[in-house]
Structure 1
Amino acid sequence: MNKRIRTPVKRRLEINDEAGIGVSRNFHSIVVEAGGYEALTFDERDVRNHIENARRLRLGVGDVESIAFYFHRMQQENSNFYSGIDFDVDGRIRNLFWVDARSRVAYKAFGDVVSFDTTYLTNKYDMPFAPFVGVNHHGQSILFGCGLLSNENTDTFVWLFKEWLNCMSATPPNAIITDQCRAMQNAIQIVFPEAQHRWCLWHVMKKISEKLRGYSQYEAIKFALQSAVYDSFRKNEFDEEWQTMIEKFSLHDNEWLGYDNALRSKVEKETKADFKSRDRLYDCLTVYEFEKQFRAAYTNAKFKEVQVELKRLLYYHANLVKEEGSICTYHVKEAVLVGEKMKKVEFLVYFNSTEFEIQCVCRWFEFRGIMCAHSLSVLIERSIYEVPNKDIMSRWRKDLEIGYTCIPTTYTKSGAALNVKVHENYHKTLDEIIEIASNDNGKHKAIQLGLREIKERYYSQGA
């Protein structure tokens, strides 16, 4: 919401771009028309990103008609031809997907394993071309479907995979092979949760030169790596060969080789941060009680962001300018250093004395989840030194319950005793129970008592 460009402004930017007006001049014209930078909810970088995306989506004269004609002709030739078109909010084509009748039949025979790759680019629009590829009974590549995408984010891949799944009678592949794309991985987990997802070996192996050529024993390392990958027939054989290679050539510090090490490192960093947030408290900068509230609730990293806002209080002063019923309007002046001169910038803050709600036009709380110094200065002006629980974001809490730490992985033993499916079923059941209880305190107490009894019963049995 904070960075939204309204549709009329988008169209104006695109018209100017088509007329050959550069991004900077284009943005400046919007600034002048709006009456200044502070009147806009976006900046030049947002404009540049939008124009670059719009250029990708900008089809040439006759292209839309050509696509429609092609899809119609294929449909006429065989009613099993499948096509899907994804439109953006302005009604323009964003993504395309199509599968001919032959490919749909081929998938029924050879669709147990599918390779999906977006490394191909069309020359004209620089849009990722995304083919679904399999292998037939001759060992030959066979096409199962094609996509033409405007970008490579999770939402786009989710749309594409859902279209493809719908086309293939809701039958997902047993296994899917892709390159190392996080957005693609996220979409696969959403649409094909049961499929075995593996990285493409070709993509991995082609990076050997890029990642390892700097070593003096590069040729020997490459030979050992290829031997481990291609000549190992069992997992334990590969593990032994891999470890021997790491030890022999002292490759412990090579981040590219340490896939599991990198993941394990992230887990360890998160665990350490959790421990520090619970064990170590930062000193407060002020005497205000709300700082202590945030310190007690938030992780250290987020509390430090709160303290950044507290430091800014030195430059703020809030004045009540209007009071209509329970709504109080404040002007908060901020002293900003521009070059060598101080400039006063004014912000509007609204305080609802009945609902105890506060809102600042800077929208920092909505955008970052941290209460801004403008709002804090108003609370201080009203001699309010504590904030309600609704102003303490639950997702920043140090005591947040995070179920994924119980999920077993190949790179950490954490949660190894708990099966993933069992864990998901527990969470689903608990969510259903919470939904039934809703806001009924009586039901909540009964549920809490029942859970404690279950815990004590099985804990005593385990002991």
Structure 2
Amino acid sequence: MELIDELPDHGCLQEDEIPRVGMRFAQLQMAHDFYVTYAKKARFATKIRTTTFDKITKAPINQAIHCNRDVIRESRVKAPTQKNTISATGCKARIYVKFDKDVQDWVLLKVDLMHSHPCSPKKAVHYHEYRQLTMHMKCVIEDNDEVGIRPNKIFLALSNEVGGPSNLGFSEKDLRNYITARLRNNNVNADVREMMSYFRRMKDINPDFFYTVELDDECKFKSAVWVDARCRASYEYYGDVVSVDSTYRRNRHGLPFVSFVGVNHHDLYDDRRMWIPIYFKGEFWSAMRSTQRSESMHAFYGGYLHSKTSLVQFVHEYDNVLGFKEQRELEDDAADSKGVIPCATTSPMEKQFQQEYTTSIFRDVQIEFVKKANCRVSTVDKQGSLVCVTMEEEKLVNDTILCVSYDVHFDHSTQELRCECNLFESSGVLCCHCLEVFHSYKVYKVPSCYVLPRWSKKIKRKHTYVKSSHDISRSDESHVAFKGLCAHFYSVAQEFVGDDEETTLPHVALEETMAKLAAHHAKKRSESVSKTQTNIGS
């Protein structure tokens, strides 16, 4: 749809004439909007054919708005190579508006409503002039794109919502163009500026959010480091194990992503392998393999991040990752508060761990209590209060039972012990060999030094009171307000869908509200025109 892009040069107008010229343009736009609204209902498209301006004041004095199939003209472009071609039919449907100086307003001088072609509702919805994304559609597109859903899947979901693509009012190409233009920035400088703006907003939300940016010798962006406020707080409890993964793919700017990730009190690692690097022997590392963290992180980030992600989109997606991890931790905490899983043995020590540890860690403890049945004392070497117990564990390997010996050093006086398998030192879980030694020497309560607070479900950790910083300013303010209204409506609607009479009441209320809002909107528009006149005068 062709619109007036800018006001013409008014030259040397008198000061009192300028407001009138601005008022004239505002009124003309209202006349154009009026005809476009009619055209949408009548199922045809419009275009501004001519606009005439006063030679002295340069103000518009008349305008002709035609049906877009009005004139048959020969194109300089060969037909096979033309794009967006429209078959003109010489249609005479149009309006002609003229400014009446006597009443100081626009009047309809000529109106022709007859078309020389059929006006099809099915075709009109696909006209370029009327294809547009509603605010609801834009919010859905933004939310889905943010979590990595492909454009064709978003389009399909929206189509199903309205009963088919013909009812959407826009094409899949329009959706893709919106994502490209609105959500993905191809300009490196603009991308960096937006990322810096994001960092500053996060700092305003929570002062504990940390970021720093490195520039090269030419003051160009080189790298950035940022840490969420909640992650900084959780490091106080889980800083004993931090994985640094620098193997993640580079983005389109050639920048690698390096993540620093800790292990919380719920055993992120389902795949425990009995493979311990010699340089980890005796050091706490939560029983993970050297490549296990990278594998799990690639699988985790793969659903959110990809090589075409822009910088600002990348940090937003990382927001989603942190939010997802926070939600998982809250769900696990809630599950632990509801109850416990049954003990596998009658040991009071297992009961002690059951009451103290999170469910996921307690399952690992249970494995060692079950394996304890395969252990037996081979030899005992006493030296005062110190005892060296050689423990044999039966293991089934390729249908063959093997006996593997482990030395456990136990102090009677302090009840401290250490097994050469180093399971407790590396993973924080007592091994079956130590448990069997406690059982042999009638130790029924595990010393507190072997019940680690980091696995406890009873400790209130302050990072749980800190929410992950999420940039609500990413969306336009109007989108935020729209989502708030929708959430309010959904909460009301879901309460009154079971009864026809009750369902009618919200419909009536919405119709009344719509009428009030329309009147309010018309009033504001009238006031806006008056305000425009005053501002132009100023």
TM-score (norm 2): 0.32
Structure (1 or 2) with the larger CA radius of gyration: 2
- Structure 1 length-normalised TM: 0.37
Whose helix proportion is higher, 1 or 2?
1
